Chains A and B, each alone.
Chain A
Amino acid sequence: MKRAYRFFLLLYPLEHQDQFADEMTAVFEAARAEGCMRGWTWYMRFAFAEMNGLIAGAASTWFTQRFRHKPAPQSSGAAASPCALPQELIDAKQRVDLNVAGMIHAIATHQFAKARFHSDEERQARECLRLLQDKYEIQG
């Protein structure tokens, strides 16, 4: 169960995983331990709600991260404008987003092999994006 939970946590943006994954797992473990004493019907409901909550939470976090208004950076140089980003960087970002969307869809439709494929692809795409960001000296 903990392994499944950890797997579903991979759906979240890396930044969210860094910040909350350990804490979420600890809270989940504490709740699960308590749930074991409440009987199996309660436990099944709990497990279902948790997995649903993770999928919905991951989708909402990605959505918020992508579309939420963020205050403009202090410096107003050309590098701050998205129009000034090199094409290969935009392509790399799109590849990450596509794989995340594919992973969320695959998990929602219970295609776990496909989800794992997208997860691996996303990791590679993110690494590629990080290298490009280093190359162009752009913060992620």
Chain B
Amino acid sequence: MRHVTTTSETETKPLTEPVLLILTSLADQPRHGYALLKDIEQLSGGRARLSTGTLFGALRRLLEDGWIERFEQDDTSRQKQTYRLTAAGRRQLQLDLERMKQLTRAGFARLRTSEAV
């Protein structure tokens, strides 16, 4: 039997690291593929470097989910498409960052408790 993912399931599912990095990179301005790669490398302090296969696989899924969209510019060509966040993508990013904030807070609280004992 095929498992069908409902909208509410999708919304509560944590984002994968490449998706989170892409959405974060697009949060402040639209970017094209190579600019995304460079920005993600910089965002992660050089730790994460996505391959083009991973990047465009994630971009494709994000386009299908409607979390990002292609953004037409004067110099837009087939080789240089620009992407930007949609309202749904922004909401998703906010949800996930909130989730991470809560987890970080809880983690630090537990560390402090264990150090105090």
Q: A: which residues have CB within 8 A of B?
A: 16, 19-20, 22-28, 30-31, 49-50, 52-58, 60-61, 64, 67, 69
Contact of B51 among A19, A26, A52, A61 (CB under 8 A): A52
Contact of A61 with B79 at beta-carbon distance under 8 Å, contacts A24-B52, A27-B52, A69-B5 already known: no
By the criterion of a CB under 8 Å from any partner CB, how many residues of chain B are at the interface? 22
**What residues of B have a CB within 8 angstroms of the CB of A23 in the complex?**
33, 56, 78-81
Q: Ordered nearest first, which 10 A-B pairs have the shortest CB separation?
A: A53-B51, A57-B53, A53-B53, A26-B79, A27-B33, A54-B53, A57-B57, A22-B78, A30-B34, A27-B34
A61 touching B60, Cβ below 8 Å: yes
Q: Are A53 and B60 in contact (CB under 8 A)?
A: no
B61 close to chain A: CB less than 8 A: yes
Which residues in A have their C-beta under 8 angstroms from that of B50?
A: 53
Q: Which single member of B49, B57, B79 contacts A49 (CB below 8 Å)?
A: B49
Question: Does A60 contact B51, Cβ atoms closer than 8 Å?
Answer: no
B4, CB-defined interface residue at 8 Å? yes
Residue of B nearest to A28 (CB): B52
Residues of B within 8 A of A52 (CB): 51, 53
User: Does residue B55 face the partner (Cβ distance < 8 Å to A)?
Assistant: yes
Contact, CB under 8 Å: B56 / A50 = no
Quick check: A58 and B33 within 8 Å, CB to CB? no
**Is there contact, CB below 8 Å, between B52 and A53?**
yes
Within 8 Å CB of A60, what residues of B?
A: 57
